[in-house]
């Protein structure tokens, strides 16, 4: 436990972290990777280059400082991050390394303002926070290892099928290479894929949502090919999966993880809202719902550029046709002439509150959404403006968490 003086000192640094947080975390990653380049086998290089990981860590450090006297307030965030850590293989021995370079980064960025008192307070606070993560993650490692069909670390899976779903998205059907039992998962969860790309100095880890229901004899991931755009280079892993990985090849997978899951105990209507490849966890949830709770009302709303970029549309429409009290609606930003002629979409443009209220029967429902960050900000704002309670709003980031407000 932290004493009151340490808590007061940590809280006094909150305004400083709000201003200098990203500079501190950027320096932290630079120092840590310089001293421990082997950790580049774990961290997402693309998120580092785009600054997303630095911003996410800065937000997490800021939140920890702000709530240092009531860390239970950030427990949901701790669990979310811990799931990612377990999926990536972060272990207790990594925490002293992080602590050393985080404290050094604080001292470097703040200079004389980082007094001995402040650095000691943050040393003590980091110890408490690290212990909390280690404890939570220990339970997650145990659960992943001991469940039926479970495993620790990475397990070899064979690509049984490779299916092109749209112009940009391809699905990979994965089965255990050893022929063993397949661990179950909660609809909405993800796995980490470890990729060894020829010519690359380090391995690459990427997390992909499982896009089918848990009762299948395979795991399915549906991967968007990230092409170069503006100054952003093409995604190395997604391009490799699309262009190089073929049926019969073997991939290394971690056990399923994640907090963004369908609450199957709730019997109220459920609304799934997705943009682009953000539909993958929604399809898993909807498939599960249709099989286990066919009487539960459901609305599936999806935004895409047009039908050429709309993955798994026919599968969702088939589920809707066979399920009472369900509805699917599509929003296309740039429908093709064929889309217009076939009336294959329901709205042109973007989702907004007025449209949501016109297609969702009422706000007494549970809402799940996922997609590009700007899309998620729009949906989050619309749901709050509509008066949907915070407890009924659930979302998932593909990548480091960002602010939706």
Question: For residue 90, which of 26, 153, 183 has the smallest C-alpha distance?
Answer: 153
CATH level 2 (architecture), domain 270-396: 3-Layer(aba) Sandwich (3.40)
Question: Residues marked as binding for FAD?
Answer: 190, 206-209, 397-400
Q: What's the pLDDT score for residue 315?
A: 94
Q: What's the pLDDT score for residue 176?
A: 98
Question: Residues marked as binding for NADP(+)?
Answer: 276-281
Choose the catalytic residue: 29, 62, 95, 345: 95
Token representation of residue 57? 């860590």
Domains 4-146 and 155-253 share a fold: no
Which string of DSSP letters, residue by residue, matches 326-352? EEEEEEESS--HHHHHHT--SEES---
Q: Is 95 a catalytic residue?
A: yes
Q: What's the pLDDT score for residue 189?
A: 97
Which string of DSSP letters, residue by residue, matches 242-305? HHT--TT-EEEEPPPB-S----SS--S-EEEEEEGGGHHHHHHHHHHHHHH-TTS-EEEEEEES
Choose the catalytic residue: 126, 137, 173, 396: 137
User: What mean pLDDT is reported for the chain?
Assistant: 93
Q: What is the largest CA-CA distance in the chain?
A: 70
Q: Is 218 a catalytic residue?
A: no
**What are the sequence ranges of the domains in the chain?**
4-146, 155-253, 270-396
Question: For residue 59, which of 378, 384, 376, 397 has the smallest C-alpha distance?
Answer: 397
DSSP 8-state code for residue 230 = T
Q: What's the pLDDT score for residue 58?
A: 83
Low-confidence ranges of the chain (pLDDT < 50): none
CATH level 2 (architecture), domain 155-253: Beta Barrel (2.40)
3-class SS string, 12-76: HCHHHHHHHHHHHHHHHHHHHHHHCHHHHHCCCHHHHHHCHHHHHHHHHHHHHHHCCCCHHHHHH
CATH level 2 (architecture), domain 4-146: Orthogonal Bundle (1.10)
Question: Residues marked as binding?
Answer: 85, 190, 206-209, 276-281, 397-400
**Beta carbons of 307 and 338 less than 8 angstroms apart:** yes
Token representation of residue 242? 């699309």
Angle between helices 14-35 and 94-110 (to 10 degrees): 120
Question: For residue 396, which of 178, 76, 10 has the smallest C-alpha distance?
Answer: 76
The Cα 196–Cα 225 span in angstroms is 17
- Write the pLDDT tens digit of every residue in 57-72: 888 888 888 888 888 8
* Contacts for 19 with CB less than 8 Å, ≥ 6 apart: none
């Amino acid at each position: 436990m932290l004493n009151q003086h340490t808590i007061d000192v940590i809280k006094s640094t909150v305004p400083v972290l709000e201003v200098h947080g990203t500079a501190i975390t950027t320096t932290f990653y630079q120092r840590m990777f310089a001293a421990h380049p082997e950790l580049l086998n774990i961290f997402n290089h693309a998120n580092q280059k785009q600054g997303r990981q630095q911003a996410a860590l800065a937000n997490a450090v800021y939140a920890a400082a702000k709530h240092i006297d009531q860390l239970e307030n950030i427990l949901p965030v701790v669990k979310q991050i811990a799931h990612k850590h377990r999926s990536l293989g972060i272990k207790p021995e990594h925490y002293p390394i992080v602590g050393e370079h985080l404290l050094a980064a604080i001292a470097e960025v703040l200079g004389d303002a980082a007094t001995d008192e402040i650095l000691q307070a943050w040393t003590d606070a980091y110890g408490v926070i690290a212990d909390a993560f280690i404890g939570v993650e220990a339970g997650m490692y145990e659960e992943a290892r001991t469940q039926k069909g479970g495993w620790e670390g990475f397990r070899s899976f064979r690509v049984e099928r490779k299916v092109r779903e749209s112009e940009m998205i391809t699905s990979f059907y994965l089965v255990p290479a050893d022929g063993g039992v397949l661990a179950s998962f909660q609809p909405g969860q993800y796995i980490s894929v470890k990729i060894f790309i020829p010519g690359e100095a380090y391995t690459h880890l990427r997390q992909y949502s499982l896009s089918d229901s848990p009762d299948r004899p395979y795991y399915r991931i549906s991967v968007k090919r990230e092409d170069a755009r503006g100054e952003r280079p093409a995604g190395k892993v997604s391009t490799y999966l699309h262009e190089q990985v073929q049926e019969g090849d073997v991939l290394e997978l971690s056990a399923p993880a994640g907090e963004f899951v369908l609450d199957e105990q709730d019997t109220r209507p459920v609304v799934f809202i997705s943009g682009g490849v953000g539909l993958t966890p929604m399809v898993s949830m909807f498939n599960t719902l249709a099989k286990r709770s066919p009487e539960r009302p459901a609305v599936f709303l999806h935004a895409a550029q047009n039908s050429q970029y709309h993955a798994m549309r026919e599968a969702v429409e088939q589920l809707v046709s066979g399920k009472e009290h369900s509805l699917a609606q599509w929003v296309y930003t740039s429908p093709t002439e064929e889309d217009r002629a076939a009336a294959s979409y329901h709205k042109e443009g973007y989702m907004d509150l007025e449209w949501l209220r016109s297609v969702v029967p009422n706000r007494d429902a549970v809402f799940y959404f996922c997609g590009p960050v700007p899309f998620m900000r729009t949906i989050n704002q619309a749901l709050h403006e509509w008066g949907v309670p915070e407890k009924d709003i659930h979302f998932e980031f593909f990548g480091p968490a960002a602010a939706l407000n």
